[in-house]
A and B are shown apart, each in its own frame.
Chain A
């Protein structure tokens, strides 16, 4: 039975896809009488199937070697595109995470989307996302990874744009699509460039190729830059990070999925491509640089936000930046562990804050406060999520951050410093958010704030349980380092940075300091609050350039190209208009023209007989 489930593990994306398709009929335009709720239930059931399937398959694959499945897709002259699935403990484990998180997010959505009619669209897109992500982790082929990434980009556009009657949603969805699309297009360049070098898109074969490859360093660096750009857009790394901020206009349940899993899809491809990146030291340094800048920048921005969802979205960029650092320094295991622990904790944080938004309406943290006594479940979930995200032993992310910092300890002490600082800043930011939401006195918006309904609290609590049990799970899978051989310095630094960030933030935001907090230099605070004025930056660089170029091309088309063609018509028109005056109605003029015609014809025909003498006579 288990073996059968393992052999059919490729069905998992199909379940989700079927769930997504089954949700469509309950769009308000098709089934008008029942209301949209069955769409959600169908999807939850399909996701439940895929979750259990994944769990059983995981039990079957654990401690077994990886298997590969080949499905031919297209075969043309010189190119065989075969969908290549890798079924290993890691990929099936990732399937569990994806389907599990999607299951929780869907249950949460049944509660959160109570007052909404768009379940058909919403759940079919969630199904599409689950299918895409499951297919992505199973897929062992760069080309098909790219295909799935593009489908997910389209899915993001539609999901962010769910409530398209809101103008900010429309611009947010637009930016999310275009920004990720640009990254994906560069990725396509890299993918195509890589084919000419290696002749394969299979990750396993790419790893083998990269081990012995001897290529021009410039070329491989350029190809690697292309390959970095895709995950850079997907993972919301600087400077392609604005879309994640604006994607927070979408519904919260989809944000759960996006913050935790969708952004990790880029990281997954990045991790898979790490052997290729190791061919080019420049590309590796670039990955580290992008990751470090994003981590520090995002952490600082997250502190200065007042929107409850955007505080968290920048933390997502931060942790994806840490994954970039891990990949750039060849620490795939740390990167995968970080993706795992971040996914769980980040999803929990979004669930907790989503519940707050659900019945406190406002997303402005400065208008929230004093919820701890009345929203203990949400508060506890937030605390667990925070502890699971920062370096706090024994919870998950501590081990991921520890693994990362430990691997960097000997070679890149600066990067360890960055990890420590980022950890402290993230702790500060999350504690600030906790202090503003749950601490202090109730404000007008939060004076009456009941706990959310069970459909939202239940997944929150289940996920809290997962986050709390993650260390035990990791230990039972022997993924944790041995305590005896632990690098105590790194561990202590991490713990201290967490404590430091937490205590400073607690003093500021839970103590009696007057709010809102003002930095001595207002410009700096605004700089972070407006995320380094990235929209303006886009507007004056890329958007301005493309707009001017488009205008120029439009003018060129309108006036030059069209003008040339139109002038042909115009000239024939004018020619007709002008030449008609030769028919002036005077018979004598006609006689003259006849005579001239005869004269010239005669002169021309008889030229050989008299022309030469005539010319001699003149000259």
Chain B
């Protein structure tokens, strides 16, 4: 097992998350893609803390914080989606293009 594989896996996960982030039409799926991104980041942090900083494992502390903040962010995100849904009766991202030119 090597650090690079973890990093490559994390990068792949990040890319999948990006793809989902910019292509999904459903707003909840966008939030889910953001979670994928954050998980890719967490994977990185864990890998670095394991392979480079195995004594103090600061990366793991970071990861805990990231998970915490991600939970909060997802909560706020879902709240926003719910608010928009109440107003516009849809969660289709392509309907949310009012703030243009």
Which residues of A pack against B, CB within 8 Å? 580-581, 583-589, 591-592, 595
> Which residues of A have CB within 8 Å of B30?
588
| Per-residue contact bits, chain B 72-101, to A (CB 8 Å; 1 contact, 0 not) | 000000000000000000000110111111
14 new A-B contacts, CB < 8 A, other than A581-B101, A586-B97, are A580-B101, A584-B100, A584-B101, A585-B96, A585-B98, A585-B99, A586-B96, A588-B23, A588-B24, A588-B30, A591-B21, A591-B22, A592-B22, A595-B18
Given A592-B22, A595-B18, A595-B22, A587–B100 Cβ distance below 8 Å? no
Shortest distance from the beta carbon of B28 to any chain A beta carbon, whole Å: 14
Shortest distance from the beta carbon of B93 to any chain A beta carbon, whole Å: 6
Are A583 and B100 touching (Cβ within 8 A)?
A: yes
Q: Is the interface of A mostly helix, strand, loop or mixed?
A: helix
Shortest distance from the beta carbon of A593 to any chain B beta carbon, whole Å: 10
Interchain residue pairs A-B with the least CB separation, the first 5: A585-B100, A585-B97, A580-B101, A588-B22, A592-B22
Are B18 and A587 touching (Cβ within 8 A)?
A: no
Count of A-B residue pairs with CB < 8 Å: 31
**Bound CA–CA A584/B98 (angstroms):** 9
| Per-residue contact bits, chain B 8-40, to A (CB 8 Å; 1 contact, 0 not) | 000000000010011110000010000000000
Are B94 and A586 touching (Cβ within 8 A)?
A: yes
**Bound CA–CA A587/B31 (angstroms):** 13
**Bound CA–CA A595/B18 (angstroms):** 9
**Bound CA–CA A588/B30 (angstroms):** 9
The listed residue (A581, A588, A592) touching B93 by CB distance below 8 A is A588
Are A587 and B93 touching (Cβ within 8 A)?
A: yes
> Which residues of B have CB within 8 Å of A588?
21-24, 30, 93
Interchain residue pairs with CB less than 8 A apart (25):
A580-B101, A583-B100, A583-B101, A584-B97, A584-B100, A584-B101, A585-B96, A585-B97, A585-B98, A585-B99, A585-B100, A586-B93, A586-B94, A587-B96, A588-B21, A588-B22, A588-B23, A588-B24, A588-B30, A588-B93, A589-B22, A591-B21, A591-B22, A592-B22, A595-B22
**Bound CA–CA A385/B21 (angstroms):** 111
| Nearest-CB residue, chain B, relative to A589 | B22
**Bound CA–CA A587/B18 (angstroms):** 13
Between B18, B98, B101, the greatest number of chain A beta carbons within 10 A of the residue's beta carbon is seen for: B101
| Nearest-CB residue, chain B, relative to A583 | B101
> Which residues of B have CB within 8 Å of A595?
18, 22
| Nearest-CB residue, chain A, relative to B93 | A588
> Which residues of B have CB within 8 Å of A583?
100-101
> Which residues of B have CB within 8 Å of A592?
22
**Bound CA–CA A587/B80 (angstroms):** 14
> Which residues of A have CB within 8 Å of B22?
588-589, 591-592, 595
> Which residues of B have CB within 8 Å of A586?
93-94, 96-97
> Which residues of A have CB within 8 Å of B100?
583-585
**Bound CA–CA A592/B23 (angstroms):** 10
| Nearest-CB residue, chain A, relative to B98 | A585
**Bound CA–CA A543/B97 (angstroms):** 65
**Bound CA–CA A556/B99 (angstroms):** 45
**Bound CA–CA A384/B18 (angstroms):** 115
Shortest distance from the beta carbon of B76 to any chain A beta carbon, whole Å: 15
Shortest distance from the beta carbon of A591 to any chain B beta carbon, whole Å: 5
> Which residues of B have CB within 8 Å of A587?
93, 96
> Which residues of B have CB within 8 Å of A584?
97, 100-101
**Bound CA–CA A595/B15 (angstroms):** 11
> Which residues of B have CB within 8 Å of A591?
21-22
